């Protein structure tokens, strides 16, 4: 699904990613953990195509195709989804209108007709139930005045609506109370299939109790320094990151 080779990237001449290698196969869940400032969110942004970062070397392949030169919307049309750590407010644009536009733009790019209104309504109903979202919420302005938890739940709702091949969840657990965390994780689990893949970026092992990763990677100072199974997450929770630092050095 996703294959990243020797990825180097910088912002304002400061190198943040220093040679990332990562392979994520369809049907897998990967967790990327690491201390603050390690480059986790940068990696997520670069995969999504944020042009504020400069990729100086390496490649990003999605299903074998190099997407590193594509515009962010083109990557989205190919099935890349990023759940933002800090979702952006767009006043006056309802969640429903936003989703309708997004879905139809993707369909258009993929040579499909617009989704008929009744199908759209059905999809909205189905996905909002999945994430236990009150439909009144969907006519509110996108992220405007949403609580932290509402914003994150809304990100996963959008993921459910867009049905991406590759979903990157950037700190989706931050700002969620335990009930919201369970609902969000439950949603992600239900959306998981053998045809898609999920990359979860998190500080804490907490979310990984609900979304069980197949692989855990530790990102430190722009490099993946250690990879392992889900038990690695528990180890990190228990011992912190210092022991890995020591081990790497």
Partner 1 sequence: MAKYTEDDLKVELESKEYEYGFYTELESDTFPIGLNESIVRAISKKKEEPEWMTDWRIAAFRAWQEMEEPEWANVNYEKPDFQAISYYSAPKKADPNKTLDDVDSELLEMYKKLGISLDEQKKMNNIAMDIVVDSVSVATTFKKTLAEKGIIFMSISEAIREYPDLVQRYLGTVIPQRDNFYAALNSAVFSDGSFCYIPKGVRCPMELSTYFRINQAGTGQFERTLLIADEGSYVSYLEGCTAPSRDENQLHAAVVELIALDNAEIKYSTVQNWYPGNKEGKGGVFNFVTKRGICEKHAKISWTQVETGSAITWKYPSVVLKGDNSIGEFYSIAVTNNYQQADTGTKMIHLGKNTKSTIISKGISAGKSQNSYRGLVRISTNAENARNFSQCDSLLMGNNCGAHTFPYIESKNSSAIIEHEATTSKIGEDQVFYCNQRGIPTEKAIALIVNGFSKEVLNKLPMEFAVEAQKLLEISLEGSVG
Q: How many residues bind partner 1 (CB under 8 A)?
A: 37
Q: 3-state class of 201 per DSSP?
A: strand
Residue placing its CB nearer to partner 1 in the complex, 170 or 173? 170
Q: What are the residues whose beta carbons fall under 8 Å from the beta carbon of 75, sequence distance 6 or more?
A: 47, 48, 49, 62, 67
CA distance 31 to 12: 28
Using rule CB under 8 A, residue 69 touches partner 1: no
- The residue from 82, 198, 211, 244 that contacts partner 1 (CB under 8 A) is 82
- The residue from 40, 43, 46, 84 that contacts partner 1 (CB under 8 A) is 84
Residue placing its CB nearer to partner 1 in the complex, 72 or 228? 72
Using rule CB under 8 A, residue 81 touches partner 1: yes
CB atoms within 10 A of CB 145: 9
Q: Which two tokens stand for residue 11?
A: 């912002």
Residue with tokens 């195709």: 65
CA distance 52 to 135: 35
Using rule CB under 8 A, residue 108 touches partner 1: yes
Using rule CB under 8 A, residue 50 touches partner 1: yes
CA distance 3 to 68: 11
Using rule CB under 8 A, residue 36 touches partner 1: no
Per-residue contact track with partner 1, 112 to 151, x per CB under 8 A?
A: --x--------------------------xx---------
The phi and psi torsions of 211 (rounded to 5 degrees) equal -105, 105
Residues that bind partner 1 (CB under 8 A): 48-52, 71-73, 75-77, 80-82, 84, 87-93, 97-98, 101-106, 108-109, 114, 141-142, 158, 162
């Amino acid at each position: 699904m996703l294959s990243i080779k020797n990825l180097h990237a910088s912002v304002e001449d400061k190198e943040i990613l220093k040679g990332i290698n990562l392979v994520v196969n369809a049907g897998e869940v990967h967790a990327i953990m690491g201390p603050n400032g390690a480059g986790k969110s940068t990696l997520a942004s670069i995969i999504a195509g944020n042009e504020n970062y400069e990729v100086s070397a390496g490649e990003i392949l999605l299903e074998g195709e190099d997407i590193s030169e594509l515009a962010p919307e083109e990557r989205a049309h190919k099935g890349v989804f990023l759940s933002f750590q800090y979702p952006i407010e767009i006043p006056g644009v309802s969640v429903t209108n936003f989703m309708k536009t997004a879905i139809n733009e993707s369909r258009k790019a993929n040579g499909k007709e617009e989704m008929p209104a009744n199908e759209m309504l059905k999809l909205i109903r189905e996905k909002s139930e999945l994430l236990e979202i009150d439909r009144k919420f969907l006519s509110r302005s996108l992220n405007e005045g949403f609580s932290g938890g509402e914003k994150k739940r809304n990100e996963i709702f959008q993921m459910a609506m867009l049905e991406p091949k590759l979903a990157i969840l950037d700190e989706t657990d931050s700002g969620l109370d335990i009930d919201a965390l369970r609902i969000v994780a439950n949603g992600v689990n239900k959306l998981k299939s053998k045809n898609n893949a999920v990359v979860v970026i998190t500080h804490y092992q907490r979310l990984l109790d609900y979304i069980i990763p197949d692989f855990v990677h530790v990102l430190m100072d722009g490099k993946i320094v250690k990879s392992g199974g889900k038990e690695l997450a528990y180890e990190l929770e228990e011992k912190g990151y210092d022991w890995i630092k020591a081990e790497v050095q």
